[in-house]
Amino acid sequence: MTTEPSTTESVDSSSSEATVSTEPASSSSDSDTTTSEPTTTTSAEVTTTDETTSDIPTTTTSAEEQPTVLFADDDAQTFHRGQDRTLLSPFQISMYTSSSQVLTISVNGDIRLGTVPTDPTRDDLPSEYGGNAVFPYWTENAILPNSGQGITYITSGQVPERTLLIDFKVMPDSNIAQDQPDHYTVSFFEQLPQYCQVRYYHTHGTGEDATIGFQGLFALTGQYRQYSYNSPGTVPDRTLMEMGLQDAGTFYTEEDAF
């Protein structure tokens, strides 16, 4: 595997932003060949803590393990618009100073810590609903019936190195042609608290139709970090993003990462 030099660029964000770490991330691939391309990092106007990139465990999923379906392509009336559901993780997931085994997942790409309502109206951060949350690609979505779309999750690995992976395949309202769904995954790691990893396989808007970032329990008083809001080209296909879910949290991005 060949590692190319890193490149750094500045991205304008909303009122609170984060400094990006520049250490390479460990990434996995669905193919046999992995190529590391230049690293795109985002710099902003806040003071940050230590970098959050860490060695990510290698996890193995056996042939018997199957993802659990959270939302299926079975709603011909509402297309699951605006809906959210909860899942129970086998390990604690931490955001800022809070931890829970429960996550509330929205079809719109809004992940909340605990059993709390998600925000039905997308905007820039902070979300007026407050609370600990990750927004990997927050936009208005549907799950078209009989399309193969949906949201699933699966846990892999062994204690204390388990990984929870949430897989989104959803159709954004911005895609009028409805030709290809957005597809991205969000991973949480047992031995890496206050951290998550997002893999953007494909998004219709590459950031133009979405809010990307995270926030804490006191988001309405400034505890949040926004990577982008309605910014095209911020997450090209095959982009890897790491988020440090803490005060003065960080973002790390790498394009063509898998």
For residue range 191-234, what is the model confidence (pLDDT) as tens digits?
Answer: 999 999 999 999 999 999 999 999 999 998 889 999 999 999 99
Tell me what pLDDT residue 130 has.
76
Please check the confidence at residue 12 and state whether its pLDDT lies above 90. Answer: no
Say how far residue 42 (Cα) sits from the centre of its chain: 16
Tell me what pLDDT residue 182 has.
99
Contacts of 79 (CB under 8 A, 6+ apart): 142, 143, 144, 145, 171
Tell me the two tokens of residue 172. Answer: 């954004």
DSSP string over 197-215: EEEEEE-SSTTTT-EEEEE
Which pLDDT band holds residue 254 (cuts at 50, 70, 90)? very high
For the residues 56-75, what does the mean pLDDT come to?
A: 74
Which pLDDT band holds residue 1 (cuts at 50, 70, 90)? very low
Tell me what pLDDT residue 65 has.
80
Could you tell me if 184 and 166 are in contact, meaning their C-beta atoms sit under 8 angstroms apart?
no
103-118 confidence digits (pLDDT tens): 999 999 999 999 988 9
Whole-model pTM: value is: 0.77
Count of Cβ atoms closer than 10 Å to residue 181 Cβ: 23
Could you tell me if 170 and 107 are in contact, meaning their C-beta atoms sit under 8 angstroms apart?
yes
Tell me what pLDDT residue 56 has.
54
- DSSP state at residue 170: E
